[in-house]
Amino acid sequence: MSNEIKSLTKRATAAFGALGLGAALTVAALLAPHAPMAVALTASGGQVQTRAIYMSTSRPGATAQSYLVSFKPATTGTLEGIVVDFCSNDPIAGDTCTAPNGFSVGTPTVNFGATSAGNPTTTGTTALPGTWTPSAAHTNRTLKLDNATGSSLTAGTLYGFTITTVTNPDATNTSPSFYARVLTYATDGTDFTNYDGGTEGTVVDYGGFALSTAATININVKVQETLLFCVVTDTTDPGTAGHTCSDSVYVTGHTPDLTIGHGTNVKIIDNSQIDTATAFMQVSTNATSGAVIRMHAANACANGGLSSDSGTTCAISGLDNTTAGRLVTATPNTGNAEFGLYVGNGYATTGVATSTTNITADPNYHNASNVTEPSTIGGPLTNVNDLWFGLDNTTNSGGVTGTYGDTIATTGGAPCNTTNAHLVFGAIASLTTPAGIYQGVESLIATGTF
Amino acid sequence: MSFWKKIASSLALCLLVICNGSTVATALQSSSATYGIDQAQFGNGGELDACSTTYCSKQTAGETAVGNSASSSYQTQAGGLVTDRQESLQLIVNGTNTDIGTLTTTSTATTTATFSVKSYLASGYAVYTSSPGPQNNGYTMHGMTTAAASSQGTEQFGINLVNNTLGGTCNAPANFGHAATQIPDGSFSYGQAAPGYDTCGLFKYKDGDAIAQSATSSGETDYTISYMFNISALTPGGDYKLQQSIVATSTF
């Protein structure tokens, strides 16, 4: 050690004592005059301010990601080159730069448009003036923006541009933190062309950034497919009374055993009027494509009509049509005995805030102009045109008498919640209908498409 | 230049005051146009690389001042060998794989996840959520675009970053979550939940929202994300996955 350096050490120690920094301080390094350094970077301006890089995701290795680079220049003046260099080692301009494992700016595509306030910067960014051509360097570690004619940037203005082709550093890096440096060049000459970390040459402004990848938070949850369907009968509308299929006690106590007819002690049908009986159906499903409701008639005879001999014959025939129509042309009925179904459109359940109305009746069982139901549930029709009926036994391989029955309504291809609809069965005898007890067993099936 | 002036220069540089508008940057920690000093420490002792065969550490003893000091124009990170003196951002997400089972319309599901952030020589940071809500076969569970309470039977997905408690003014669906924790304490760290995500019992979720923030450089803040799920009768059935990316951005 030279005498000069020894003297220097003594004086440094004494200086700290005089400053009152405490006893027993140790000078751990020496100030040694040395040959003028080979300065890797010379900056004529200063450090850019309010600098940040917004990543679209922090997931390691994510591809095709966006990085919004924003900063305020320290210097007003013309620039022809901007470099953004991504490093795993540090953000210090002038240091060498090691690429983070897996990182790439890609064949860079840069969006130079301005961004609005809050998206994501607080005040929004201003677009770089002029035309800038992006390119990659150092195996896609570095983004270079070249403006051959130069554009003037204003100190204190927040500029931004978005690289949209970035691949994040991957998970093999020893630290999720990584860095970037921005350097601006007055010309796109040799220094800009030959840029590398540690050999920046002469720049205008510079600045460092810190970024970080991070693990992804993964949470799994399950939702069950659901379908809840019930058919009941009641003297009052259960939907408007707020009943749902979830109420098993109510459903069990209101099974749809319908009796069609008029009279006080014994209900009969004759040719004098159309008698009705009403059931109510309700559907709830989260099926993405909604549900279809079909009806299958157990009596295969006479279009799924009513039988007094367990289905061998049906003296009261099902209404043989493929579109809704009158049960008979006039009352008293001088034609055939008929049996049919009317299906109403959907309505919500009272008291269920999220109840929906999306049940649409099939046109075979519903005519929009003829939907006037008896004022009393299960009463007679006043006029043959009040309500039109149907009992399709031909569509889809046999209609109501086919294997899967006939479609009577749908939820319109969408989920539904506690949606109700009326099912009005009508019947009228002819002058020659044999006496007897006639029955029909109609099975309703709801099918969800998930 | 006299030796005493050289000493004065080195003392100033050794405090490592980071000022705006320096004109020359080099690879040394401190330098002028002619002289440079590297790895200087004035203190009771220290070691840059104290190593065994397996581990290394940086050590200092008897430092008179440690930590961040700032004015409107300058800030300094004071301290010895162990203090990081470059822009830094550390985001650690405790990556989780959680299955919270099957949701029903008559119950609320909750869970939590944690992450930590620290950032030095920054004028602040913000933490953003970067992902859609839970998804199933192209269907995304409804995120709560404004902070609101849990409502069973209504499809909701939301988060907050506070401690949630049953009953009382909070009236959360469960006791879960935790307020932001400053490490080692509030004199070193300043992170907090962002507006909209900072109220007990209220939940929100918008892809791209800031969910946590600090207005200054900050030591480590540990955050807990509280997740809340409700479904309606119309929520499609299936397996839903939330793959949430947390992005921290510091402004320097």
For residue A113, the domain's CATH number is: 2.60.40
Among candidates B22, B208, B245 on the partner chain, residue whose Cβ is nearest the Cβ of A59: B245
Confidence label for B17 from pLDDT (cuts 50, 70 and 90): very low
**Chain A residues inside the 8 Å CB shell of B136:** 223
What is the value of ipTM here, to two decimals? 0.81
The confidence band for A16, taking pLDDT boundaries of 50, 70 and 90, is: very low
Question: What's the whole-number mean pLDDT along residues B209-234?
Answer: 96
Q: Which residues span the domain enclosing A381?
A: 222-450
Answer whether residue B169 shows pLDDT above 70. yes
pLDDT at residue B3 tops 70? no
Are B130 and B64 within one domain? no
CB < 8 Å from B in window 168-197 of A: 176-177, 179
Same domain, residue pair A435 and A305: yes
Distances (CA, A) of A312 to A301, A305, A316, A439: 7, 11, 12, 12
Provide the domain count of chain B.
Answer: 2
Shortest CA distance from B130: residue in chain A: A57
| CB of B89 less than 8 A from some CB of A | yes
Q: What percent of chain A has pLDDT over 90?
A: 82
Where in the sequence is the domain holding B202, given as residue range(s)? 90-251
Range with the poorest average pLDDT among A80-84, A300-304, A326-330, B181-185:
A300-304
Tell me: do B50 and B136 sit in the same domain: no
Residue A170 falls inside a structural domain:
yes
**In this structure, is residue A217 part of a structural domain?**
no
Q: Of B52, B85, B118, which closes a domain?
A: B85
Give me the mean pLDDT over the B191-212 stretch: 97
- The answer on B102 and B61 residing in a single domain is no
Band (A321; pLDDT cuts 50, 70, 90) = confident
Exposed e or buried b for every residue in A158-180, given b needs 16+ CB within 10 A? bbbbbbbbbbbbeeebeebbbbb
| Confidence class for position A389, pLDDT limits 50, 70, 90 | very high
Indicate the range of A43-57, A290-304, B59-73 predicted with least confidence: B59-73
Q: Are residues A131 and A55 in the same domain?
A: yes
A95 contacts B87? CB cut-off 8 A: no
Closest by Cβ to A216, choosing from B36, B233, B244: B244
On the CB side of A217, how many CA atoms lie within 13 Å of its CA?
Answer: 22
Cβ B41–A56 below 8 Å, yes or no? no
Distance CA B199, CA A221 (A): 25
User: Are residues B210 and B174 part of one domain?
Assistant: yes
> Contact B247/A57, CB-based, under 8 Å?
yes
Residues A27 and A60 in one domain: no
Rounded mean pLDDT, A117-133: 88
CB B70 within 8 A of CB B217: yes
Answer yes or no: do A219 and B227 touch at CB < 8 A: yes
Residue B125 sits in the same domain as residue B33: no
Query: Are B105 and B65 in the same domain?
Result: no
Going by pLDDT thresholds of 50, 70 and 90, the confidence category of residue A308 is very high
Q: Which of B26, B37, B100 sits opposite A31 (nearest CB)?
A: B37
Please determine, for residue B60, whether its predicted confidence score (pLDDT) is greater than 90.
no
Peptide bond into A434 cis (omega under 30): no
**Which domain CATH number covers B216?**
2.60.40
Residues B188 and B73 in one domain: no
Q: Is the pLDDT of residue B83 over 90?
A: no
The confidence score (pLDDT) of residue B45 equals: 55
Query: Do B118 and B226 lie in a common domain?
Result: yes
Mean pLDDT of B205-224: 96
List, as ranges, residues 363-382 from A with C-beta within 8 Å of B.
none
Total domains, chain A: 3
Q: Is A67 near chain B, with CB under 8 Å?
A: no
What is the average pLDDT value for chain B, to the nearest integer? 80
